[in-house]
Amino acid sequence: MAHKNLFFFLLFLSMVAWGGSWVNVKVLSSYINAYEMIFLRFLITAITMVPIIVFLKKSFRIDVKSFGLVVITSVALIAYMNYFFLGTKYGTASLGGAMVTTLIPIITFVFLVLMRLKSITRKDMMALILGALGVSTMLNIWKFDWEHVMVVHNLYFFLAAILWPIVTILSSKSTAISPIVFTFYMYLVTVVLVALFFVDFRSMNLSTTDGVFWFNIACITLGATTFANTVYFLGIERLGAGEVSSFIFLVPFSAIGLSAIFLEESISLSMIIGTLMSLYAVKLLNNITFFKQR
């Protein structure tokens, strides 16, 4: 029981770190551009994952099919991170953290239905409608102020929410290697692709950065990526996906709370209500239970 409680505590910290990554990106956007952030984040993360993979006694061997999936998934990851960065830079970290993290499981479900990997029931239709109403409430669409709703950063958030399910579905197609090893190679290939095609190292000057910059780099790499991803993967292996999935509900609220504390963003009642509606829709779609019956 003590071992299980420790895992629950580590999962809680992981979800807080994932929510905090929206705050980290907002701060970093005033120092570097999207591709420089992607390069630094995943380079540092890939390096720190090596001793973890060795400690877990996972093999670094990868087959051709899995590597092909790694490359394709890395392209989708770069696109996701770019829109994640741009949406957060021009919008608010609280809205991004709430809207994208609740939309992702809903859009993933829709993709699986379209791919005929899931069947849709009346309950699922009600959940999808509730999710749509929840996101609409987050955007405060009921004021019918279309200039406020149809802003570019909301489009970036929607694109990010569409791209991450693609990353997830592509990653799940590789069953020949461990998920954590697949993720390591995905980060490594992402770094190579970004370095080759997107980063201008001649204009990338890190000598003028300060402690705030490096603190947020450390949080988003060591905290939100290396630590959080490792705990999440181990949690699925040891506790099961069903038990671990309920912790995802902490992410939007940690994003909202940390944005209010560190960025002094105002949190509207419509955002809170919309987030709760969308999270309940996610609960219905994925049959998530918080308390098991004895």
Task: Classify residue 176: in a domain, yes or no.
Answer: yes
- For residue 162, being part of any structural domain is answered with yes
What pLDDT, on a 0 to 100 scale, did the predictor assign at position 1? 54
Q: DSSP H helical segments within the chain, as ranges?
A: 2-28, 34-55, 64-90, 93-114, 122-138, 146-149, 152-172, 179-197, 211-218, 228-239, 241-245, 250-262, 269-286
pLDDT of residue 140: 78
Task: Summarize pLDDT for 227-279 with one digit per residue, the tens.
Answer: 998 888 877 777 665 566 667 788 898 999 999 999 999 888 888 998 998 88
Report the distance separating Cα 152 and Cα 142, nearest Å.
Answer: 19
276 domain-assigned: yes
The answer to whether residue 166 is domain-embedded is yes
Structural domain count, the chain: 1
Going residue by residue through the chain, which has 294 residues, state the pLDDT in tens, using 9 for 90 and above. 556 777 788 888 999 999 999 999 999 999 999 999 999 999 999 999 999 999 989 999 999 999 999 999 999 999 999 999 999 999 999 989 999 988 888 888 888 888 887 888 888 888 888 888 888 888 777 665 656 666 888 899 999 999 999 998 888 888 889 889 999 999 999 999 999 999 999 888 888 889 999 999 999 999 999 999 888 887 777 766 556 666 778 889 899 999 999 999 988 888 899 899 888 888 887 666 654 443
- 30: Cβ–Cβ under 8 A, 6 or more apart, which residues? none
- Flag whether 292 is in a domain: no
Give the pLDDT of residue 146.
Answer: 59
Asked if residue 90 is part of any domain, the answer here is yes
Q: Which structural domain, as residue segments, surrounds residue 268?
A: 2-286
Are 285 and 105 contacting, i.e. CB atoms less than 8 angstroms apart?
Answer: yes
pLDDT for the residue numbered 145: 62
Taking phi over 0 as left and psi of -120 to 50 as alpha, with beta for the rest, 34 belongs to alpha
